[in-house]
Every structure is written in structure tokens, then in C-alpha cells.
Structure 1
Amino acid sequence: MSMTIVFVTHDVEEAVVLANKVVVLNPRPGRVRETQTIDLPYPRDPASAEVHEQARALRGRL
């Protein structure tokens, strides 16, 4: 059995650490702007260079 959990955050690093997929929404109206798959192995270290690199790349496309 698989499970889907929706977690809402404004912290890009937190999203990269916790998620397999990050969905970025546009402001008003809230529509999907971009979906990014995070392919880092678990457990993810919030202080790792890989997490910061993924977050920086995601922020760069916003």
C-alpha cells in the first residue's frame, strides 16, 4: 500500500529535505507553476551541499 502526504511549507530547504516531489504554486490564483522531483537518497542531511544545491536550483527557477 502506498501513501501520499501533502506538506505545505514556504521553506525551500525543508521541502527538499522532506519531499520526493516539490510542487511550486503561483500566487493568486494558486495554480501549479512547476513540479520538481527530488532524487536524493534518504536520510537527507539539511546541512549537506546536495540539499543546498537542489534548493538553490529550485529557487533559481522561481
Structure 2
Amino acid sequence: KMIEKHETEIINFFNLGHANAKAERLNGKIQRFISNNYGMKDKDFALYRIALYFS
């Protein structure tokens, strides 16, 4: 059932070499950043941390 659900992506990977690894990595970084900085009150410091983390 899982293979049927993702059949198009699997075929694209083998035929074209396309994968979503970069998007998954960025999503992981965003999730990790949010969990590490949950409750941050200072907006300027938050923007500074975002600039450092994603540069």
C-alpha cells in the first residue's frame, strides 16, 4: 500500500534521478530550529539566529 501511494515519486527517482532530499533536509532544519528556539521573545535576536542558522 505504501509503494502504491508513492509510486509516482519512486518511478521519477529511478527514471530521472529526482529526489526530494534537499527539501527534506531544509524541512528538518526548520523543525529543529523551531523546537530549539520555542518561546523566544526577542524578535531581533530571533531574526539574527535565523540568519546565522540558515546561512
- TM-score, normalised relative to structure 2: 0.28
Greater radius of gyration (CA):
2
Q: Which has the higher contact order (CA 8 A, sep 6+)?
A: 1
* Structure (1 or 2) with the greater strand fraction: 1
